[in-house]
C-alpha cells in the first residue's frame, strides 16, 4: 500500500507520478488546443515533437533516480498526451483528490489506476461535476493551502479557468484546521503572456521560506500583498511577464535544498544557487510550449 503524505511543496520527496511523453500523438488541430501557448506554437509550426519531449521527461526521471525517489509512470495510451499528471489529481495530507478534468482528458486518470489501487480507497476523494479543481492551482504551505481560482461570472467561457469557487469551498470544508486562501488569477484564452493558467504559473514556494512570484498574475493586488507579507519581500524572486511565459515559477522541489529547474532559466538558477540551493538543471523548453513545466508533470504522493 502507498501511504500518502504531502504537507507542503518542498519536503523531501519519496514517491511521485511523473508524466510520460511516449505516444504523445500528432500535433493537435487549432480547435483542440487547451491553452493559448499551445495555440501559438500550433500556428507557428513549432509545436513540440514527441521525440524531443521524451528526452526531456527522461532527463527529469534521471534526477529522481539520483535522489532515490520512487517513480510511477502512467500506462501509455496510444496517441494521447499524458505529460501533465498534476492536472488529473493531487495529494493534500493523506488524501488524493481526483480532478474534474476537461472532458477530452478523462482517459488520463485511467492510466494511473494501477497506482490508485495501491491507496486506501477511503483516502481517494472525488467531487460532483460542478466542483472544479486541478493540481496546478493547489499549493500546500504547511498550515496554508493556497488555491488559484477565477471568480469572474464568465468562468465558463475560459478554457484556461480550471478551478472554481465551488472547488475552493470543497477543499475548505475538508480542511477546517488549515488556512485556505484563494487567489483570483488573470486569465486569457488567446494571449499566453496574459494568462496564469494555474497558480503555479505565477507563484511557487521553494525551500523553507522563499518563493518565486509574478505580481501581474494576480487580479487583485491584495492577494499579491498577502504573499509578500507572509514570505517577506526579501524572500521573493520576482519574475517578469516574459519569465512567467517561459514558466520560471513552475520548477519542482525534491527537498527544501534541491530544486529541479529548466537549464535556460539563468537568472532564476543563479538566484537559487545564491540562496544556497542545489539546482538540478534539465532541458524542458519543448514541453514548456504546452504551457506546462516541471511542477505540472509531477504528482507527488509521499514527502517526508
Q: What is the pLDDT of residues 146-174, one digit of tens each?
A: 999 989 888 777 776 789 999 999 999 99
* Residue at 124 is within a domain: yes
The whole-number pLDDT of residue 33 equals 80
The whole-number pLDDT of residue 291 equals 81
Q: Using pLDDT thresholds of 50, 70 and 90, give the confidence band for residue 38.
A: confident
| H or E element that contains 49 | none
pTM for the full predicted model: 0.94
- 50 phi and psi, to 5 degrees? -55, -45
* Residue at 265 is within a domain: yes
* Residue at 29 is within a domain: yes
The whole-number pLDDT of residue 103 equals 76
Q: What is the count of structural domains for the chain?
A: 1
Domain holding 149, by residue range, is: 13-303
Residue whose C-alpha is closest to residue 175's, from 138, 222, 200, 202? 138
% of the chain residues with pLDDT over 90:
81
* Residue at 222 is within a domain: yes
* Residue at 1 is within a domain: no
**303 close to 11: Cβ distance less than 8 angstroms:** yes
Q: What is the per-residue pLDDT across 209-263, written as a single tens digit (0 to 9) for each?
A: 999 999 999 999 999 999 999 999 999 999 999 999 999 999 999 999 999 999 9
* Residue at 135 is within a domain: yes
The whole-number pLDDT of residue 157 equals 75
Q: 222: which DSSP letter?
A: H
Q: What is the per-residue pLDDT across 91-133, written as a single tens digit (0 to 9) for each?
A: 999 999 999 877 778 899 999 999 999 999 999 999 999 999 9
Q: Using pLDDT thresholds of 50, 70 and 90, give the confidence band for residue 19.
A: very high
CATH number where 103 lies: 3.75.10.10
Q: Using pLDDT thresholds of 50, 70 and 90, give the confidence band for residue 36.
A: confident
The whole-number pLDDT of residue 105 equals 81
For the chain, the average pLDDT equals: 94
Taking CA 144 as the corner, what is the angle to CA 122 and CA 164, rounded to the nearest 5 degrees? 70
Q: What does the block give as the cell for 284?
A: 524542458
Amino acid at each position: 500500500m502507498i501511504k500518502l503524505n504531502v504537507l507542503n511543496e518542498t519536503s523531501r520527496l519519496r514517491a511521485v507520478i511523473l508524466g510520460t511523453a511516449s505516444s504523445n500523438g500528432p500535433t493537435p488541430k487549432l480547435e483542440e488546443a487547451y491553452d493559448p501557448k499551445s495555440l501559438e506554437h500550433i500556428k507557428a509550426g513549432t509545436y513540440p515533437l514527441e521525440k524531443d519531449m521524451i528526452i526531456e521527461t527522461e532527463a527529469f526521471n534521471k534526477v529522481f533516480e539520483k535522489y532515490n525517489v520512487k517513480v510511477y509512470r502512467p500506462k501509455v495510451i496510444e496517441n494521447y498526451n499524458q505529460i501533465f499528471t498534476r492536472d488529473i489529481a493531487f495529494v493534500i495530507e493523506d488524501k488524493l483528490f481526483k480532478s474534474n478534468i476537461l472532458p477530452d482528458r478523462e482517459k488520463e486518470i485511467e492510466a494511473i489506476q494501477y497506482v490508485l489501487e495501491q491507496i486506501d480507497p477511503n483516502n481517494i476523494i472525488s467531487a460532483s461535476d460542478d466542483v472544479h479543481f486541478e493540481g496546478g492551482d493547489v499549493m500546500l504551505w504547511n498550515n496554508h493551502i493556497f488555491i488559484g481560482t477565477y471568480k469572474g461570472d464568465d468562468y465558463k467561457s475560459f478554457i484556461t479557468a480550471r478551478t472554481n469557487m465551488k472547488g475552493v469551498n470543497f477543499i475548505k470544508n475538508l480542511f477546517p484546521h488549515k488556512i485556505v486562501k484563494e487567489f483570483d488569477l488573470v486569465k486569457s484564452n488567446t494571449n499566453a503572456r496574459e494568462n496564469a493558467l494555474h497558480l503555479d504559473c505565477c507563484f511557487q514556494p521553494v525551500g523553507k521560506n522563499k518563493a518565486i512570484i509574478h505580481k501581474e498574475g494576480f487580479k487583485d493586488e491584495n492577494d499579491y500583498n498577502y504573499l509578500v507579507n507572509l514570505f517577506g519581500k526579501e524572500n521573493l524572486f520576482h519574475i517578469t511577464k516574459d519569465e512567467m511565459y517561459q514558466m520560471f515559477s513552475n520548477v519542482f522541489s525534491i527537498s527544501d535544498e534541491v530544486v529541479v529547474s529548466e537549464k535556460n532559466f539563468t537568472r532564476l538558477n543563479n538566484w537559487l544557487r545564491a540562496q544556497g540551493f542545489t539546482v538540478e538543471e534539465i532541458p524542458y523548453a519543448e514541453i514548456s510550449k504546452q504551457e506546462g513545466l516541471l511542477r505540472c508533470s509531477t504528482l507527488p504522493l509521499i514527502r517526508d
